[in-house]
Structure 1
C-alpha cells in the first residue's frame, strides 16, 4: 500500500520523487510539469501542462498524484499521465505540450483501457519502464517512496509529522549525476541536492548539513555523500558545486545569470578578475559528526581517507589571506551570497571564517593523534602546523572583537564601519571566547532590536539600514545559521540559550508548514526569496528532533 503524503501542498510547494528530475506544481486548475537541470531557469524546464475544467482535488500517495478521473505517476526518468476512459470527469482533462521548453524529453502514448501519455528523458542511457502495464508502473513507483519512508527516524510525537515531511524532502531531493573523480574518470552517483527548484547540484556546505539529517537513518548514504563533496581540486581547494557538467571552483565559470545578479546588486565581485569559489570550511566538523558513533575500524577508515584532504584544505585557506587574515575573496565562498558585508570592496575578513577554520584545525589535531596511534605514522609536521594555526586563528579572531560595539567586526577594505550581521554571532562557533565576548553575543542573540525573533536569528540586525526581512541573507531566518550559533553558544557555556534557539528553529518549520529555504522573522512563513522543499532545513530539523528525543529519553 502506498504511503499517504498529507503534507504536500502543490499551490505553494512541489511534488517529485527520489532520483527523478520531474517536478510538479499547481497554478489554479493547471498542473505544471517540469524537468529540472543544473542552472536552468524553471521557465526553460517546462514539459507539459495538465488542465482541468473543474476544480482540482489532488491527493498525494507514494509516487502518485490522484485526481478526479486521472492520475500522474513518476518513476525515475519516466512520468505517466493516466486518464480513466470510463470516468465522466476524465473528459475535462486536457494535456498541452505546445509551450514545452525542456530539452531531451520524449512523449509517447500507450493504448489500452486508459488514455496514457508517457514522458521520458533521453538523457537516461537506458530508458526504463516503457513496456510495462500502468498497474506495474505504479506499483514500482510507489514502492520507491514506501521504501524510503520506512526509514523515517522516530522522535517525540509532537515532532513526528514534521520529521516525516523532512525525511520525504531528503528523499525526493535525491538525483543521479555523473561526477568527476580524482583519477579524472567519471562515475554516476546518487546525491541529495538542496532543492530541485533552483539548486540541482551538490553544493559543498549544503552537503555538510544534509549529511547530519541523513545519518540518522541512512548513515551509509550520508558518508558517501560527504565523500563526494570532499573533492580536492588539486591544491587543497574544495569546489563550490559539483554538478552534471563538472565542478564550479572559479568565478570565471559562474553562470551568466549569476554574474548579472551580482552586478545588479552592486557587488564588486567582478572587479578583481577570476577568484577561487568554494564554501566555508566545515568539512572536518561534518565528518567528525558522522563518524563519532561508527565502529572503530570504519571510523579509522574514513579518518585516514579524509584527513589529508582536510589538512590540505586548511593549508589552502591559510594561503588565501589579506595580511595574516584568511579572507572571503567572493561572496559565494561565504555561503552568505548577498550579506551586506559584501556590499563594499573585496576581499573581506569575516569572523565566521576564522571560527570555522579554528574548529576545523582543532578536529584535525585530534585526528592526527588517532592516526599516529593506530598506524604508527609520523604526523608531527602536520600537528605542529595545526596547533600553530589554531592558536593564530584564535588570536586573529580576538583582534576582531570591538568592545565599544560589543561585536566581532568584519574588515571591509576602505570602510571604517561594518554592518552587524549573523557573521558576528558565528564567531562563537569555535568556542574559547572571553566572558565579555560571550556575554556580548548572548545579549545580541536575545535582543529583539538586533537578532532575536520567535523563529531564531535574523541574518542582519533589525536596527541596520540594510535589514530586509524578505531578501536572502539580508534579514530572514536561516536554519543552518541558527543551528551553528546554537552549537557555538553551547560550547561557550550557554546551554539554556542554545536549547531555546534550537526550539525556535524547529518552531520555524512547524509554523511555515515545511522545510523552506529561509523564513520571515516576524511571522515564520516562507520568505519571498525562498525556495521550497529545502534539504538542509529538512536535515537539520531531523537532527534537532532526534537530539531532543534522546535528551528526553536520557
Structure 2
C-alpha cells in the first residue's frame, strides 16, 4: 500500500488539517456549517481564529445544494465525484473539476460571499481574494508530486507500525514552513499553535527526520545553533520576527509576570535568559552516520561546547557548581509542579543532561585529538554527577529538585531522567525502577506519567502535571538501555508506540489512565510524530 493511501484515513480536517509542506495555509472543516470548510493561516504567536483567510467555503451543485466532502487525500479534498480542492503553490488554493458546480466563498472582509461557477473555469483563492483560475489539473499534479516525493522518503518499519509511521511522516512534512529571512526550512512543533523552531523540539524532530531526510534534519540543528548569543546561549525559539532568548523578548505583560516571579537569587529586575534543556549534543550525535559533512559537524560541535559552557558560567545562579533553570520555559516542562517552588530551580533532569552532554563532548574531543578538552569535559561531568547524587533523598526514594536552595516537595518525571547518564550507581537505578513499578507513583495504565500519582498536584489531563509525553518516554527508554535494563527499555518503547496508535495519532500528550488525547493537547505534534518514527525504526531493525 502506498504511504499516501495509509495517511488518508487520518486526515479528518479537524485534528489533521489539509496543508502543504512549506505553506502556512490550513484547511479545516467548519464547525458550525455542515459541508463547509474554513481556511486559516499559521502564524507565530497568533491564534488561528485571528488568522482567518476564508470564513466558509462550500461547493454547490447545479441545483444550489451543498456538496459534501467525499474524501481527503494529502494532495486534494474531493467534493462528491467531480470537484477537488488542492494547492496552487504554497500561497494559494485551487478548486476545479467537471460538471456543473459553484464555489461559494465567504471572506472575513464582511463583503457578500463570492460565488464563481464552473463555467468560469477553476477558482483560485489567495490571501488577497478569490478569482478565476486556470490549469487546475496542473496545480493538482504539482501538489501530488510534492507529496509523492515526501512519501518516497518514508522509513521502512514493521507491518503493524506502517500506517501510523506513514501518518507521522505526513505530520513532519505538513509541519514544514519557511521562516522569512532564515534561509532554511523549519519543521515546527505544530501549525496549530506552535509556528516557530523551538530548540528542544528541533532536537527530537531531527532525530526522527534523520531516517528519511537527513538534510532536513541537519537544517533543524543549523537553525537551532545558528542564533547563539555572544556568550554561547542558544535561544529558546527562532521565529518569523526574530528569536526568543530573554524575558525582554516577550510581550510587556509576560515580562512583568516573569519579573514578579523572581527570587533573591534570580534578580527579578534583570532580564531572565530563556533557552531549552541541553540536549544539543544528544541530537547532534544522532546525525552522525546520516549526514556526511565534516564542516557542519565541526561548527555544530563548537556551538554545543559554547552552549555547555554557558550553562555553567551563566546559569549557575547560586554558584554551587550545579546550574539551575532560571525560568520554567528553559526546562521545557513549563507547568511542572517543580516550578511551583521559588526560582531558580536545580533539577535532576538538568544535571543528567549536562552530564550526558559533557560526556559526549569529551568523546568528540578525543575523536579529534583534543586531549585537554576531553579531560576538561570528563572532569566536569564527574563533578556534576557527584552533585546529582547528593540530590537523592533516601527517605523519599527519589532525586529531589531544589527551588532557591530549598527542597521541592514534588516527585515528577525529572526524578527519573538521571538514568540517561548511564552512570548511576546501582542503588539509584534500583530506586528509580521501584518508582516505575509502583502504582501510586509511575505505574499507570499507560506509562509514564510526568508526575507521580500520589502527588496532590497530579492530573490526568493538565499539561506536565500527569499526562504522558512521547519525548519523556523516549529519553527514559534510552536511560533504561544505558543503565543495564535493555528488556525494560524495549518494553517501554513498544508501549509508547501502542499509546500513539491507541490515542489516534501523534498528539502533544496523552491521558495516562485512558491513553486518549486530553482536550487541550495539540494534535499533529512534531516531536511526537518524529519520535514515533524514530522508535518504530529502532524496533523494526
Q: Verify same fold: TM over 0.5.
A: yes
1:502-545 deviation digits (Å, cap 9, x = unpaired): 11110111011111111111111111221111111011011111
Change in Cα spacing, 1:261 to 1:2, as seen in structure 2 (3 Å) is farther
Change in Cα spacing, 1:16 to 1:536, as seen in structure 2 (3 Å) is same
Q: Structure 1 residue 210: deviation in Å?
A: 0.5
Residue among 365, 388, 393 paired with 2:379: 388
Change in Cα spacing, 1:263 to 1:506, as seen in structure 2 (3 Å) is farther
Q: Structure 1 residue 381: deviation in Å?
A: 4.1
Matches within 5 A, 1:68-467: 68=80, 70-82=83-95, 86-87=99-100, 90=101, 94-98=104-108, 113=119, 116-121=122-127, 132-178=134-180, 186-231=181-226, 232-255=228-251, 271=268, 273-292=270-289, 298=293, 300-319=294-313, 320-321=315-316, 322=318, 323-372=320-369, 379-413=370-404, 415-467=406-458
1:177-211 deviation digits (Å, cap 9, x = unpaired): 13xxxxxxx54211111100111111101010101
- Distance in 2 of aligned mates of 1:112 and 1:2: 32
Q: Secondary structure at the match of 1:226?
A: helix
Q: Structure 1 residue 121: deviation in Å?
A: 4.7
Change in Cα spacing, 1:263 to 1:99, as seen in structure 2 (3 Å) is farther
Alignment RMSD: 2.9
1:313-368 deviation digits (Å, cap 9, x = unpaired): 11100111122210000100000011111112100000000100110111111111
Q: Name the counterpart of 1:22.
A: 25
Q: Name the counterpart of 1:182.
A: none
Listed as ranges, the gaps of 5+ residues in structure 1 are: 102-106, 123-128, 179-185, 373-378
Q: Secondary structure at the match of 1:521?
A: coil
Matches within 5 A, 1:462-541: 462-541=453-532
- Distance in 2 of aligned mates of 1:307 and 1:398: 28
Deviating 4+ runs (over 3 angstroms): 1-4, 51-58, 83-87, 98-101, 107-117, 129-132, 255-264, 266-273, 292-295, 300-303, 414-417
Q: Structure 1 residue 110: deviation in Å?
A: 8.1
Residue among 77, 84, 87 paired with 1:65: 77
Size of the aligned set, in residue pairs, is 520
Cα pair 1:460 1:467 within 8 Å, conserved? yes
Cα pair 2:459 2:466 within 8 Å, conserved? yes
Listed as ranges, the gaps of 5+ residues in structure 2 are: 60-64
1:273-328 deviation digits (Å, cap 9, x = unpaired): 42111000001111111114556xx3x43432222211111110011112221000
1:448-488 deviation digits (Å, cap 9, x = unpaired): 22122343211111111111211111111000000001111
TM superposition score normalised by structure 1: 0.87
Change in Cα spacing, 1:490 to 1:2, as seen in structure 2 (3 Å) is closer
Q: Secondary structure at the match of 1:470?
A: coil
Change in Cα spacing, 1:2 to 1:64, as seen in structure 2 (3 Å) is farther
TM superposition score normalised by structure 2: 0.89
Q: Structure 1 residue 380: deviation in Å?
A: 4.3
1:130-166 deviation digits (Å, cap 9, x = unpaired): 9751111111112111111111111110000000000
- Distance in 1 of aligned mates of 2:26 and 2:355: 41
Residue among 9, 13, 31 paired with 2:12: 9
- Distance in 2 of aligned mates of 1:44 and 1:293: 40
- Distance in 1 of aligned mates of 2:3 and 2:375: 57
Change in Cα spacing, 1:79 to 1:548, as seen in structure 2 (3 Å) is same
